[in-house]
Amino acid sequence: MPTPARVAVLPSDPGPMRIEEIELPDPTGHQVVVKEFASGICHSQLHQIHNARRSEVVLGHEATGEVLAVGDEVTNVKPGQKVLLTFQPRDLRTTDRMPWMASVESGGGKAASSNIFTWSDHTICDDQYVIAVPDDTPMDVTAPVGCAVLTGAGAVLRAANVQPGQSVAIWGVGGVGLNAVAAARMAGANPIIAVDVDDVKLDLASRFGATHVVNGAETDPVAFIREMTPGPEGAHGFRGLPIAGVDYAFDVVARNQTFQQAFQSTRNSRNAVHGGGTTVVVGVPQESFELPAVEMLMNERQILGTLGGTAVPDEDIPTFVEWFKNGDLDLESLVTSRVGLDEINEACQMLDDGKVLGRSIIEF
């Protein structure tokens, strides 16, 4: 029988979200109906809120819940199981099936999402976005695992494959960046340098494993990082520039300014001895970047993009949950704001205003 649900709907015209009471259909095929306990509020959804759109939208892509019903082709979860929801397909290495859309019938017609929606007390989605977790998994602070943790930690472990002893700098230590810091610590990176313009966030980054922090509004972060990461004494690269810089710079902010700074902070190459460092674009860019093409060539630096940390949720989500249970990932400190569904517009405004230090979650 249909499942009643309360869902936040973003109208096609500019304006606040409204809460609608709808009915979710019985699941068929690969569909799963989930009762949600909590959902994260991701900064990338602010872009959807601010950008123009042609139709109504349902939002949210990280959550915890319990399976209520499944379609006849679902094999990875069953009713009664605790699950985490994510926007990343759980493992495309094992199937060619790539589900893209989720939608609901709302008062304004059809409201859709490009993968899942979780700003609702119940949801229906494809089983590709549903990962079973142990029954004793806390169902509040683990809500950000499906995006914030997956993206930040995945960028370090999957996309960059950071190795012990390699140096790392991370631009932007909010919900995603803090998890990049934690993963760099778990990978054995050193130093781990956090860059932000908020001292409170930088203090939090130190708790997550940053060995050094720099406020980019007060100190030139590129000069700071290159001073902290010198190469062998007397070693020089192209045009006699001393070797310095990090092996990996992660740009979680994804603005042209932060990209340029991250790029300039990476190590320059020593011809035929070692290549240059890598800039990893983690955040969702809303503007074009100027490509420092000459320096990329002459200093043999690389630029890498990663969507959702290039993560494999079927493998990575259980790992991150285990990190949390072992005390290696401080999700209690990551969640810095809790709201109800009826406060969704105010919560998004808080995030837009930079008032959320880590991750804000909706509790149902």
Query: ω before 191 within 30° of 0 (cis)?
Result: yes
Q: How does residue 126 score in pLDDT terms, banded at 50, 70 and 90?
A: very high
pLDDT tens figures, 45-78: 888 898 888 889 999 999 999 999 999 999 999 9
Per-residue confidence (pLDDT) for residue 332, from 0 to 100:
96
Per-residue confidence (pLDDT) for residue 272, from 0 to 100:
54
Residue 297 tokens, joined: 């060539």
CATH number given to 3-145+330-363: 3.90.180.10
Average pLDDT on 137-148 reads 97
Length of the chain: 364
Domain extent listing, the chain: 3-145+330-363, 149-308
User: Which of the residue ranges 50-54, 108-112, 135-139, 233-237 has the most confident prediction, judged by mean pLDDT?
Assistant: 135-139
Is residue 240 scored above 70 in pLDDT?
no
First to last CA, the chain: 22
% of the chain surpassing 70 pLDDT: 98
Is residue 337 scored above 70 in pLDDT?
yes
Average pLDDT on 7-21 reads 92
315 compared with 114, residue with greater pLDDT: 315
pLDDT tens figures, 218-236: 999 999 999 999 987 767 7
Residue 260 tokens, joined: 């340029």
Per-residue confidence (pLDDT) for residue 273, from 0 to 100:
64
pLDDT tens figures, 178-231: 999 999 999 999 999 999 999 999 999 999 999 999 999 999 999 999 999 998
C-alpha count within 13 angstroms, C-beta hemisphere, residue 133: 30
**Helix-helix angle 256-265:221-228, to 10 degrees:** 20
Residue 68 tokens, joined: 């209520």
172: left (phi over 0), alpha (psi -120 to 50) or beta: left
Alpha-carbon torsion angle 248, 189, 213, 285, nearest 10: 30
C-alpha count within 13 angstroms, C-beta hemisphere, residue 88: 26
45 compared with 150, residue with greater pLDDT: 150
Is residue 106 scored above 80 in pLDDT?
no
Say if residues 198 and 226 touch (Cβ distance below 8 Å).
no
Mean of pLDDT over the chain: 93
pLDDT tens figures, 273-284: 677 999 999 999
The neighbour count for residue 284, using CB atoms within 10 Å, is 16
Q: Does domain 149-308 have CATH number 3.40.1030.10?
A: no
Per-residue confidence (pLDDT) for residue 108, from 0 to 100:
66
Q: How does residue 171 score in pLDDT terms, banded at 50, 70 and 90?
A: very high
The H or E element that residue 132 is part of is strand 130-132
Per-residue confidence (pLDDT) for residue 93, from 0 to 100:
85
Per-residue confidence (pLDDT) for residue 84, from 0 to 100:
98
